[in-house]
Structure 1
Amino acid sequence: MNWEQLLSLKRFGDTHKRLRKEQNETRLGFEVDYDRIIFSSAFRSLQDKTQVIPLSKTDFVHTRLTHSLEVSVVGRSLGRLTGQKLLEKHPHLRDTYGYQMNDFGAIVAAAALAHDIGNPPFGHSGEKAIGEYFSHGNGKRFKDKLTETEYQDLVKFEGNANGFKILTENRPGIEGGIRLSYATLGAFTKYPKESLPHKPTRKIEDKKFGFFQSEREFFKEVAEELGLKKNRESNNIGYCRHPLAFLVEAADDICYTIIDFEDGINLGLIDEEYALEFLIKLVKNNINTAKYSGLQNTADRLAYLRSLAINTLIGEAAEIFLANEEAILAGEFHESLFDKSSYEAQIKDIIKISIEKIYQSEEVITKEIAGYRMLSYLLDIYTKALLPETEDQDSNFTSLVLKSVPKLQHLQEVDSVYEKLIGICSFTASLTDGLTVASFEKYSGLKI
């Protein structure tokens, strides 16, 4: 792979090549990507989607929106830091093509901003609820009407693939979604493969999948434009990652490791003094002991350690990326950047505590159970409305359901069972936590 292709400014529908040196410096193409994402309704909906605690009423716990903004800020720093060094190593990118350090930062920032845009309500339990509706619930009735890969898209419903769908799918009157540059779409796609084969290797790019069958052909177009290296020769397509996807992943890893941990402390799920000890271990080589000792309360000490930890991990992630750049471009680097971190043990300790004290806390589990049931119920309502099992099910109730959900009405004109089902799943995943509760109460008659 080469940077000239990987930094492509091409967008869906372009009939001419976009050249970096011809870009208007006041509004660069990669910065336009960021603007389009942040003004999209899908991004705004993240303000009411779970990051740590579903339906949390506290004002200091992160939502998917605040998490995404923070990941984007970290990603921008990572991109600029590596971009500066890459231009020193490959000066022709600047001298011949016009690329600047900030271009790398803008691509990573935009991709990081969108990294959770396809996630369902109620976190990862929302993904499982959708998947298990088709593997064990009433959705299993559609299995014989789908190809093996189409069915896999549903039973292993993936927020990353749904994010690619949201960013790129054609809708009535809107072609190509929000039309991001192919460079940003490449950096966004952490798992550039389809849903089958499932985890064919232990390589990081094969851990999950990055696009549904409905977007398969367009993803191939993006991959070919970027020059992504194919990593299998079968009919099931898969590629090596876009190099900047490693930086997007690192930015997310940094934020959820440190900031979810901080949320756990603020919620009282993790003892403050105990938590501070873990953070100190992570930054012990960089801590200013005099400054730290002068801080008078736990909140200030926590903020100082969090800032120092994020800065420390940004610097190390950039160093690891640059040290492995040639292997990454050759498609021979198959792990996350932090798998090579000198702080790996400290990071694992923090994540272990977060799993035990936060993600598996009674409050989280109770709300995830409720969310699981509500999503299964809504999927039943929507699938019976659009794909009734019998003529008897095509009732006035299902007609009223479709009238109440304009975003599903266009699927009535779609012939493909798969297209209808993946459309239903994508719509259900677009619901916020609060709207899921409200929809459940409305259709079940619990609230008028």
Structure 2
Amino acid sequence: MATIWSDRRVGELSHTPTGRTPDPVRSRFQQDYDRLLFSTPVRRLSDKTQVWPMDANDGVRTRLTHSHEVANLARSIGTRVHSSKPELFLGADLHQVIQPMLSAIGLAHDLGNPPFGHQGETAIGRWFELRKSWIFTNHHNGGPELPVAIPDDLHAEFIKFDGNPQTLRLVTKLQTNIAHLGLDLTSATLAAAIKYPVCAGNRDKQNPIAKKCGYFEAERALVNELRIETGLAEGQRHTLTWIMEACDDIAYSVLDVDDAMKKGVISPDDVLASLLADVTTSTHVAVAKAQTKFREVEAAGRRPELARDIKIGYLRAYFIEALIDHASDGFVAAREAISSFSHRTPLMDDSTLCEKLKSLAQQHAFSNPGVLRMEARGAEAIEGLMTAFWDAIHDRAPEDFDDILARRSGAKSKYVFALISQNYLEDASRAASAGGIAASVRYRELRLLTDMLSGMTDTFAIKLWEELKGMQ
């Protein structure tokens, strides 16, 4: 029977269910979290940008700290909702199912992001956009047509490259496993990790949960199996995905501003003043609490440096508390629409506090000259690396076109191709038997290219580009 709480693993979906001895200590969802926590992609997040690329300040967040915070917030909201409305989770156990699932999808939600965050996604997409006149249809620029071109509806997988579908690909295929199952996570965890439950051809800019591609054509067969197992259909989100999305918004709004304050780009007094000056947030209870505490801090006569840090702590605590309350209340209020898969609006979209904090982050963090300078440097590195790896992937004799692992022709191509992870190469070769467009040589070449680039850390990308530039 299909259930959104299915704990059957990917490797079990093609087999008739058999009796198994449950782990007396950990549920399969707790095992999912453990598998993710100890995986290589999670460790790589420590050198991937949240806001401040390659920052020397150890107190500033990376994608790793951001992901742990999202996992923590998600678990908190799940616990809060379950304590008041357990029926919303259809009998799923809080400790064995809800909490570990939310922890797992919170930890995993950014695993597919390339170096330099969203700017990295943009740089990858731009590389394809500049070559769209031939790369999907021809052997090379001005060259003969491909035997199998990539259909128009799949171009968005590359031109609008996004880390979300790359996450699904990473944990289900690109991690080594004796049976080629990635981390072999449960059906429910994987379904809940799909933020946008549509393929590239079904994107809808007017629908917040379908505005981006949520899985690649390469994973279509897997997603179909997950849907049979969980009962979810195209365009239908898992219940817990709403909570994970809200926590990403909370972390982005509060904690990116928190980092800007820690770096001295904006002071906590400036943040409070901006909130008090805005009619949409001036009377918010969290703002009032912070204002009262600021007066107490100033009356305590602490040194300015210490008073600043104490104020930052109060802002962080009160804002997170207020937004967790908002998300929890919103989830409960939308329970019927969420259960019937008719809900469309993210839980934090009607939070004036969240929106104001996001605007402050955009103004003082994302638009900071230091951030923009490093993003420009990162974009240059990605552009150059994409070209170098494409040249290496495509550089083989015409008679070897169908063999993606064939010997490279040039010396530089041989070196660059040798840098590609064996995991990625194996998947690119095995996918030839997948059937459909995903088995075509060009599709597999482009997936291999994006697999390699998105898997890099910020530091690795910069250092490798500096090295390859010297070989030109």
TM-score of Structure 1 vs Structure 2, range by shorter chain: 0.7 to 0.9
Report if aligned partners of 2:250, 2:354 keep a CA contact under 8 Å in 1: no
* Cα distance, 1:122 vs structure 2: 0.7
Report if aligned partners of 1:37, 1:110 keep a CA contact under 8 Å in 2: yes
Partner of 2:195: 190
* Cα distance, 1:394 vs structure 2: 2.6
Equivalent residues in 2 for 1:125-144, closer than 5 Å: 125-137=119-131, 140-144=133-137
Partner of 1:24: 23
Residue of 329, 333, 345 corresponding to 2:352 = 345
Secondary structure of 1:93's aligned partner: coil
Report if aligned partners of 1:79, 1:106 keep a CA contact under 8 Å in 2: no
Supply the RMSD in Å over aligned alpha carbons.
2.7
Once the two structures are superposed, residues 189-227 of structure 1 have per-residue CA deviations (whole angstroms, 9 ceiling, x without a partner) of 1101111244x2522211211111111111121122111
CA distance in 2, matches of 1:25, 1:77: 25
Report if aligned partners of 2:105, 2:189 keep a CA contact under 8 Å in 1: yes
* TM-score computed with the length of structure 1 as normaliser: 0.87
Equivalent residues in 2 for 1:23-102, closer than 5 Å: 23-88=22-87, 93=91, 99-100=93-94
Which amino acid counterpart does residue 289 of structure 2 have in structure 1?
I
Which amino acid counterpart does residue 469 of structure 2 have in structure 1?
S
Secondary structure of 2:360's aligned partner: helix
CA distance in 2, matches of 1:55, 1:364: 10
* Cα distance, 1:32 vs structure 2: 0.8
Partner of 1:5: 3
Once the two structures are superposed, residues 352-395 of structure 1 have per-residue CA deviations (whole angstroms, 9 ceiling, x without a partner) of 1211221112111111111111111111111111113877x831
1:124 equivalent to 2:129? Answer: no
Percent of residue pairs identical: 28
Partner of 2:253: 257
1:386 equivalent to 2:393? Answer: yes
Partner of 1:235: none
CA distance in 2, matches of 1:61, 1:123: 15
Which amino acid counterpart does residue 185 of structure 2 have in structure 1?
L
CA distance in 2, matches of 1:48, 1:178: 22
* Cα distance, 1:440 vs structure 2: 0.5
Which amino acid counterpart does residue 10 of structure 1 have in structure 2?
R
* Cα distance, 1:141 vs structure 2: 2.9
* Cα distance, 1:420 vs structure 2: 2.0
Q: CA 1:289/1:402 → structure 2, altered by over 3 Å: closer, same or farther?
A: closer
Q: CA 1:88/1:132 → structure 2, altered by over 3 Å: closer, same or farther?
A: closer
Partner of 1:234: none
CA distance in 2, matches of 1:17, 1:276: 57
Which amino acid counterpart does residue 167 of structure 2 have in structure 1?
G
Which amino acid counterpart does residue 12 of structure 1 have in structure 2?
V
CA distance in 1, matches of 2:336, 2:421: 49
Secondary structure of 2:237's aligned partner: coil
Once the two structures are superposed, residues 274-333 of structure 1 have per-residue CA deviations (whole angstroms, 9 ceiling, x without a partner) of 113356755437738765543341211211221121122112211111121111111111
1:219 equivalent to 2:223? Answer: yes
Partner of 2:470: 445
Report if aligned partners of 2:290, 2:318 keep a CA contact under 8 Å in 1: no
Partner of 2:345: 335
Residue of 293, 296, 305 corresponding to 1:294 = 296
Partner of 1:246: 242
1:418 equivalent to 2:405? Answer: no
Secondary structure of 2:185's aligned partner: coil
Secondary structure of 1:68's aligned partner: helix
* Cα distance, 1:345 vs structure 2: 2.1
CA distance in 2, matches of 1:354, 1:312: 18
Which amino acid counterpart does residue 39 of structure 2 have in structure 1?
S
* Cα distance, 1:23 vs structure 2: 4.2
Report if aligned partners of 2:165, 2:213 keep a CA contact under 8 Å in 1: yes
1:160 equivalent to 2:164? Answer: yes
Give structure 1 stretches of 5+ with no counterpart: 231-237
CA distance in 2, matches of 1:366, 1:288: 34
Number of residues of Structure 1 aligned to a counterpart in Structure 2:
426
Report if aligned partners of 1:9, 1:18 keep a CA contact under 8 Å in 2: no
Report if aligned partners of 2:290, 2:314 keep a CA contact under 8 Å in 1: no
CA distance in 2, matches of 1:81, 1:16: 37
CA distance in 2, matches of 1:320, 1:18: 40
* Cα distance, 1:271 vs structure 2: 3.3
CA distance in 2, matches of 1:245, 1:12: 19
CA distance in 1, matches of 2:81, 2:275: 26
Q: CA 1:47/1:87 → structure 2, altered by over 3 Å: closer, same or farther?
A: same
CA distance in 2, matches of 1:278, 1:250: 23
CA distance in 2, matches of 1:19, 1:315: 41
Once the two structures are superposed, residues 388-412 of structure 1 have per-residue CA deviations (whole angstroms, 9 ceiling, x without a partner) of 3877x83122112222334354446
* Cα distance, 1:259 vs structure 2: 0.4
Partner of 2:264: 268
Q: CA 1:404/1:347 → structure 2, altered by over 3 Å: closer, same or farther?
A: closer
Which amino acid counterpart does residue 329 of structure 1 have in structure 2?
S
* Cα distance, 1:183 vs structure 2: 1.3
* Cα distance, 1:108 vs structure 2: 1.1
Residue of 319, 325, 330 corresponding to 1:320 = 330
Give structure 2 stretches of 5+ with no counterpart: 138-148, 277-281, 399-407, 433-439
Which amino acid counterpart does residue 337 of structure 1 have in structure 2?
L
* Cα distance, 1:172 vs structure 2: 7.1
CA distance in 2, matches of 1:240, 1:113: 22
Q: CA 1:367/1:405 → structure 2, altered by over 3 Å: closer, same or farther?
A: same
Q: CA 1:278/1:104 → structure 2, altered by over 3 Å: closer, same or farther?
A: farther
Moved more, 100-109 or 278-287: 278-287
Once the two structures are superposed, residues 415-443 of structure 1 have per-residue CA deviations (whole angstroms, 9 ceiling, x without a partner) of 62201211210211110000001111221
Report if aligned partners of 1:276, 1:302 keep a CA contact under 8 Å in 2: no
CA distance in 2, matches of 1:53, 1:18: 49
CA distance in 2, matches of 1:185, 1:93: 20
Once the two structures are superposed, residues 160-182 of structure 1 have per-residue CA deviations (whole angstroms, 9 ceiling, x without a partner) of 01011101116574522101111
Partner of 2:369: 362
CA distance in 2, matches of 1:100, 1:372: 43
Partner of 1:435: 460
Secondary structure of 2:3's aligned partner: helix
Secondary structure of 2:155's aligned partner: helix
Report if aligned partners of 2:275, 2:356 keep a CA contact under 8 Å in 1: no
